[in-house]
Copies of this chain bind each other. A is one copy, B any other.
Amino acid sequence: MRETNSLNRSYAGQGLESKAVAASYSAIRQASEALCEPLEPEDCCIQSMPDVSPTKWHLAHTSWFFETFVLKPGLADYRSPNPLYEFLFNSYYNAVGEQYSRCRRGLLSRPTLSEVMAYRAHVDEAMDGLFAAGLASDLEQDLLAVIEMGIHHEQQHQELMLMDIKHVFYRNPLRPAYRELPESSQQEVAPLTWLPFNGDLQSIGHNGEGFAYDNEAPQHRAYVESFLIADRLITCSEYVEFIEDGGYERPELWLSDAWQIIQTRAWRAPLYWECEDDQWQIMTLGGMRDLDPSEPVCHVSFYEADAYARWMGCWLPRESVWETVARKLPIEGNFREQDCLHPTPLVYGTAGPAQMFGDVWEWTCSPYCAYPGYRARDGALGEYNGKFMCNQMVLRGGSCATPISHIRATYRNFFPPDARWPFTGIRLTKEG
């Protein structure tokens, strides 16, 4: 995908170049809209649970981000199409002002999808003006840095759009498909192999070159004990063994909170799994289809990943362990650019740790915390990451719904331990 490369080029020199950023901006904005092409206006309105936002809201909020943090401070005469948009499309920035209640985003028929698209065009036009002016004088690095962050921010919302629409369609008894997906091609998957690493003091976190979120910094030392790591992700077939061994009925496998939740919510399989006549069916962005046992298990909560690990006598990796392994590997895998929109089986014979990037976000056993010496950004953008450092778990590596340019070995995603609607999966470790 084009946007990726152009964004990367912008880091060629010391600082950001207006031209490269402008190109990335344009590519990212088009990519968001391209994601909506298979959808009807009604699809873009629905909030199927509080965590889900309507497609329309994502499209508007990502525009609001540029309006609020770039256009309003950067363009003296900028005017929003509607002063209430500041309130409606503010996600959680208290420093910007009050926010429309998150759980009510699905109650808004207006602005309609076409009004939201007009809002996007309005913002894009103003951004074009800004870039055009900037290309002469070159824009200030500070403003460029915020635009760059806005670009990464919009990539995150692209993944959310896919996660959310999958959930919306799943909740509808008609089970619509987002679009046609490639057929699943069952593979024979090699047995799990354990790769050893020796204990050592490691440097963890982002070293400052290129873009990173504030939560990846500062780089710091951490002692990582010896460990073994699984060479690939856990497959559906392996997870079915856990289910068939009574995994969901055995309290000794579950954290206390987890056991409560699986009772209350009657969880007996990953999200999107349904058993009909002894055959597992799953919901995909292409609609319902038979489970492919060879593909990585997906849409498990941390609680389920942790119970699976315990059942195996293993652990989920700490994030320092995961990063120690990942930073030596090239960033390649089943990302959104592959256009599968679903995790795919590992092709037989791959050497070394495989599937570390792409396919599914990998739950770690690390709660999402500040690194030692962490400083949130100043101002409203300081609310981007820091204030969520509680009651969430870190995930690593990106998924089949993540743009490849969005991912780094140091990238820290985070979700509450009961979240299942992201594309999440399981990699195991053991003591070395």
Given contacts A92-B256, A173-B84, A223-B222, contact A168 B42 (CB under 8 A): no
A:25-47 near B, CB below 8 Å: 40-47
What 1/0 flags go to A87-102 for Cβ under 8 Å of B? Answer: 1100010110000100
Determine the residue in chain B with the shortest Cβ distance to A315. B370
Whether A182 sits at the interface, judged by CB under 8 Å, is no
| Contact indicator A258/B390 (Cβ below 8 Å) | yes
By a CB distance below 8 angstroms, the chain B residues around A109 are 40, 42-46, 168, 172, 176
| Stretch of A110-118, A132-140, A265-273, A344-352 contacting B (4+ beta carbons < 8 Å) | A110-118
By a CB distance below 8 angstroms, the chain B residues around A389 are 255
CA distance A431 to B56 in the complex (A): 44
| Contact indicator B42/A45 (Cβ below 8 Å) | yes
By a CB distance below 8 angstroms, the chain B residues around A308 are none
Partner of A223 from the list B84, B94, B223 (CB cut-off 8 Å) is B223
Determine the residue in chain B with the shortest Cβ distance to A254. B387
Determine the residue in chain B with the shortest Cβ distance to A366. B369
A:67-88 near B, CB below 8 Å: 82, 84, 87-88
- Number of chain copies forming the complex: 4
Whether A171 sits at the interface, judged by CB under 8 Å, is yes
> Shortest Cβ distance from A95 into chain B, in angstroms?
6
CA distance A88 to B174 in the complex (A): 9
CA distance A104 to B222 in the complex (A): 45
| Contact indicator A174/B223 (Cβ below 8 Å) | no
By a CB distance below 8 angstroms, the chain B residues around A251 are 94-95
Given contacts A84-B173, A87-B173, contact A110 B223 (CB under 8 A): no
Given contacts A223-B201, A252-B95, contact A82 B46 (CB under 8 A): no
Interface core residue of A40, A87, A111, A171 (most chain B CB under 10 Å): A40
> Shortest Cβ distance from A105 into chain B, in angstroms?
11
Whether A399 sits at the interface, judged by CB under 8 Å, is no
CA distance A252 to B93 in the complex (A): 9
What 1/0 flags go to A107-151 for Cβ under 8 Å of B? Answer: 111111100000000000000000000000000000000000000
| Contact indicator B391/A174 (Cβ below 8 Å) | no
> Shortest Cβ distance from A324 into chain B, in angstroms?
13
| Contact indicator A259/B94 (Cβ below 8 Å) | yes
| Contact indicator B43/A110 (Cβ below 8 Å) | yes
Whether A330 sits at the interface, judged by CB under 8 Å, is no
Whether A225 sits at the interface, judged by CB under 8 Å, is yes
By a CB distance below 8 angstroms, the chain B residues around A173 are 84, 87-88, 100
- Size of the A side of the interface (Cβ < 8 Å), in residues, is 66
Whether A406 sits at the interface, judged by CB under 8 Å, is no
What 1/0 flags go to A352-391 for Cβ under 8 Å of B? Answer: 0000000000000111011011000000001100011111
By a CB distance below 8 angstroms, the chain B residues around A256 are 92, 387-388, 390
Whether A221 sits at the interface, judged by CB under 8 Å, is yes
Partner of A172 from the list B94, B95, B107, B318 (CB cut-off 8 Å) is B107
Determine the residue in chain B with the shortest Cβ distance to A220. B225
Given contacts A225-B373, A373-B225, contact A42 B112 (CB under 8 A): yes
A:220-276 near B, CB below 8 Å: 220-223, 225, 251-252, 254-259
Determine the residue in chain B with the shortest Cβ distance to A46. B109
What 1/0 flags go to A200-221 for Cβ under 8 Å of B? Answer: 0100000000000000000011
- Could you jot down 10 A-B contacts, CB within 8 Å? A42-B109, A43-B110, A46-B107, A94-B259, A107-B172, A201-B223, A222-B222, A225-B373, A255-B389, A365-B369
Given contacts A42-B56, A42-B112, 12 further A-B contacts (CB under 8 A): A42-B110, A44-B109, A45-B109, A46-B108, A82-B174, A108-B172, A221-B223, A225-B372, A255-B388, A257-B390, A365-B370, A367-B369
Name A residues whose Cβ lies closer than 8 Å to a Cβ of B. 40-48, 56, 82, 84, 87-88, 92, 94-95, 100, 104, 106-113, 168, 171-174, 176, 201, 220-223, 225, 251-252, 254-259, 303, 315, 318, 365-367, 369-370, 372-373, 382-383, 387-391, 417, 431
